[in-house]
Structure 1
Amino acid sequence: MMLTDVELDRYARHIVLPQVGGVGQRKLKAASVVVIGAGGIGSAVLPALAGAGVGRITIIDDDAIELSNLHRQPLFRESDAGASKAEVAAARLADLNSLIEVVPRRARIDADNAAELLAGHDLIIDGSDNFATRLAVSDACVAAGLTLLSAAAVQFQGQVALFRGRPCYRCFVGDAFDAEDCDNCAELGVLGALTAAVGGFAALLAINAIVGVGGEQSGKLHLFDGQALSWRTIRIPADPACKACGSA
């Protein structure tokens, strides 16, 4: 997949990086990425991917924009209240980069439709706000052999991890969180700037994974403390009894 003259000009600051170059930029152009959730995490991830030249971005979100979203979701404006997050986010990305394809899907992803919604993509980025969705997405990724990048932020704490089969996200959190009534930021609160920091890190990890920069990151959990302003990384062990990847 060759780069046009316009793309060579647009992505020049990437292309001069020896770690990226023309080969890496072509990988970004060829990539097809799903972003689940156009909320706080998505508001940082989506513009970064679009600006980087990821060729096809699918946005899955069934929510409408509310004023309470705006402190952490700068993709949206006060005048967008009531509109579809997926559709408004797609329009913003199209304004940012007309050279890429952006597909909005106003849908709630679950165990019944995850396989269909995720099929045909190279990387799944989950920025949803509940464990039931995250586990359904993870299980579908394991079954289809898809790479999953999970990112979350609540209160002053953030976490980002990349999963390629085993260990999987279910190995990390277990089976106790399949219910939809688990805590989320609506109950616990979240610092707006935290979602930008965590989402920006997730976008960097996604771009590195697509281009092939920085070595293999799967199975590592990156934890951010927004009060101490520090990151630490731990290794996630595979659960031999995991019902999703235990036999993988």
Structure 2
Amino acid sequence: MRSEPNRYARQSAVPAFGTRGTEALRNARVLVIGAGGLAAPVLQYLVGAGVGFIRLVDPDRIDLTNLHRQTLFREDDIGAPKVTAAAAHMGTLNTDVEIEPVKAAFDPALAQKMCGDVDLVLDCADSFAASYAASDHCLEAGLPLISASVVGLEGYCGGFCANAPSLRALFPDLPETLGSCDTDGVLGPAVGVIGSLQAQMAVAVLTKAAPSPLGQLVRYDAQAMRFSQFRFDTAPEPTLGHRFIGNQDISPIDYVIDLRAEGEPGPDIHAMERSTAQHLAENGAPKAADGHRIVLACRSGQRAWRAADALAKHGHTHVALIALGSGADS
């Protein structure tokens, strides 16, 4: 460790934090899922504070449309893998911190490998499928999870799992309308506010601050300039819920239904048929699927979730979901 004596003096001077807090951060190991807008303040503050090890997972490359909110990157970075550029920039901020870039999409098949040696998981992904996969793993592993999301001018940040309920306990169902940065847009300052909250919650968890942010949700409305918060410590875990799997988890005996349109970008899969959520809602699963696990695949996981809801009304409960992504190296 090559810290200058005065590097962490200002944070160590906070009475409730002290040198013990700085030492706790130095010994901490963190997984950050996503290297986009939320990760920009998260990484800068955690790296600046001296968190000892950060594993950063993201499959994408930097695009011009990212730069208004993904403030780690510069125009010269366009086309580079996000994890590589982020690690390089953060390496110039604090050489005390080890950053491990992993250019991959986070899914259940990767969860054990990515989470097995960390103390905390931060969900900064613009993907509800990755968020639920992270929460499912953290709940089972007893790992704390700080998960956040921003769309348009609104967002939230919350502490889940470990000694608190999971993301599913608070959000067991897919909303009727589910936005994304791509479809509904997002403003950079709103992302910065939520990402900063995420970093603060992470520091609180890693230093065992009281009260714990686990079991607490903070919402932010940038248009009204208003925060609201509540605790959900007693929220019950749902007994049922649609589960995501990775491509590697598809069994030869699974009945795979591709919900993507013809020509829609994404990786190829060995599907038994192509369908839509509406068709499955009206007709249920085909007879050929009887006795098999049904695997529903689409790009983001949203159509797969809605199709699983539809099949459940027809009595089909042995269902798994896959979010295939775009398949583009972008």
1:170/1:242 contact within 8 Å kept: no
Amino acid of the structure 2 residue aligned with 1:61: D
Question: Which range is displaced more, 163-172 or 127-136?
Answer: 163-172
Q: Which of 25, 28, 31 lines up with 2:25 in the alignment?
A: 28
**1:81 alignment partner in structure 2:** 78
Offset, 1:10: 0.7
Q: What is the distance in 1 between the residues matched to 2:45 and 2:221?
A: 22
**1:192 alignment partner in structure 2:** 188
1:125/1:150 contact within 8 Å kept: yes
1:31/1:122 contact within 8 Å kept: yes
Offset, 1:164: 2.7
1:31/1:55 contact within 8 Å kept: yes
Please list, as runs of the form range in 1=range in 2, the aligned pairs for 1:60-79 lying within 5 A after superposition: 60-79=57-76
Q: What is the distance in 2 between the residues matched to 1:176 and 1:158?
A: 16
Indicate yes or no: 2:17 matched with 1:51: no
Q: What is the distance in 2 between the residues matched to 1:43 and 1:22?
A: 26
2:168/2:237 contact within 8 Å kept: no
Amino acid of the structure 1 residue aligned with 2:193: A
Of all paired residues, the percent bearing the same amino acid is 38
**2:109 alignment partner in structure 1:** 112
Q: What stretches of structure 1 of length at least 5 have no aligned partner? A: none
1:130/1:183 contact within 8 Å kept: no
Q: What is the distance in 2 between the residues matched to 1:125 and 1:50?
A: 14
Q: What is the distance in 1 between the residues matched to 2:47 and 2:240?
A: 35
Q: What is the distance in 1 between the residues matched to 2:112 and 2:235?
A: 23
Offset, 1:243: 4.2
The structure that has the greater radius of gyration is 2
* 1:25 aligned counterpart, secondary structure: helix
1:159/1:221 contact within 8 Å kept: yes
Larger RCO: Structure 1 or Structure 2 (Cα < 8 Å, ≥ 6 residues apart)?
1
Amino acid of the structure 2 residue aligned with 1:42: A
* 1:47 aligned counterpart, secondary structure: helix
Q: What is the distance in 2 between the residues matched to 1:243 and 1:127?
A: 25
Please list, as runs of the form range in 1=range in 2, the aligned pairs for 1:149-168 lying within 5 A after superposition: 149-165=146-162, 166-168=164-166
Q: What stretches of structure 2 of length at least 5 have no aligned partner? A: 242-330
TM-score when scaled to structure 2?
Answer: 0.69
**1:174 alignment partner in structure 2:** 172
Q: What is the distance in 1 between the residues matched to 2:141 and 2:135?
A: 10
CA deviation map 1:133-173 (0-9, x unaligned): 11011101111111100011110101000013441001122
| Runs ≥4 residues deviating over 4 A | none
**1:218 alignment partner in structure 2:** 214
**1:229 alignment partner in structure 2:** 225
**1:136 alignment partner in structure 2:** 133
Give the RMSD, CA atoms, in angstroms.
1.8
Amino acid of the structure 2 residue aligned with 1:206: A
Offset, 1:238: 2.0
CA deviation map 1:92-111 (0-9, x unaligned): 11110001111001010111
TM-score when scaled to structure 1?
Answer: 0.91
Q: What is the distance in 2 between the residues matched to 1:176 and 1:115?
A: 25
